[in-house]
Amino acid sequence: MPYLQMSPIDSSFCWEDLSWFRTITQLPIILKGILTKEDAELAVKHNVQGIIVSNHGGRQLDDVPASVDALPEVVAAVKGKLEVYLDGGVRTGNDVLKALALGAKCVFLGRPVLWGLACKGEHGVGEVLNILKDEFHTSMALTGCRSVAEINQDLIQFSRL
């Protein structure tokens, strides 16, 4: 079977292209694929409204860091000047809690929702979302958080290297 490749990636897109992009839309500009503090700082410099910390499912390049591992550095780099979201690797309600504790404003879901859809259609998607919600509420209760506002980095233990 011949090798099928996705459409070529245009590597000519650069930070300066954001100026042009602003001329064609009034919508907020949110960049996906930010994994380093340097890119996060450039996003702030270019006045985007948000960034999505994402390794695109790790399927584009081998050995890219997990999104959640890049999250703390990116959150620290933007210093609250724009919203930071997390995409990738979220499979449980506890993963949601961890992402929020590390500074993400919200998370995006991919595979879990698709698994629910594949198994039980629309009803399966609802079941997956309810499971994640229940797990999230359980994780909050076990960590003593009564509201999302109480979730913070103190909930996360970092290993010492």
- Look at residue 4 and tell me whether its pLDDT is greater than 80: no
In a domain, 95, yes or no: yes
In a domain, 6, yes or no: no
The answer to whether the beta carbons of residues 132 and 92 sit under 8 Å apart is: yes
What pTM does this model have? Answer: 0.87
Q: Which residue has the tokens 């629309």?
A: 122
In a domain, 131, yes or no: yes
For 94, counting Cβ atoms within 10 Å of its Cβ (0-12 exposed, 13-18 middle, 19+ buried), the class is middle
| CATH of residue 37 | 3.20.20.70
The pLDDT of residue 161 is 36
Question: What percent of the chain stands above pLDDT 70?
Answer: 88
In a domain, 51, yes or no: yes
Find the mean pLDDT for residues 51-80: 88
Residues designated as active site: 56
In a domain, 72, yes or no: yes
In a domain, 158, yes or no: no
Find the mean pLDDT for residues 60-74: 88
Torsion region of 52: left, alpha or beta (phi above 0 gives left; psi -120 to 50 gives alpha): beta
* Number of domains the chain is built from: 1
- Look at residue 160 and tell me whether its pLDDT is greater than 80: no
pLDDT band, very low/low/confident/very high, at 5 (cuts 50, 70, 90): low
Find the mean pLDDT for residues 48-72: 86
- Look at residue 68 and tell me whether its pLDDT is greater than 70: yes
The region of weakest confidence among 13-17, 135-139, 147-151 is: 13-17
Find the mean pLDDT for residues 117-145: 98
Q: Which domain holds residue 74?
A: 28-147
3-state SS, residue 40: helix
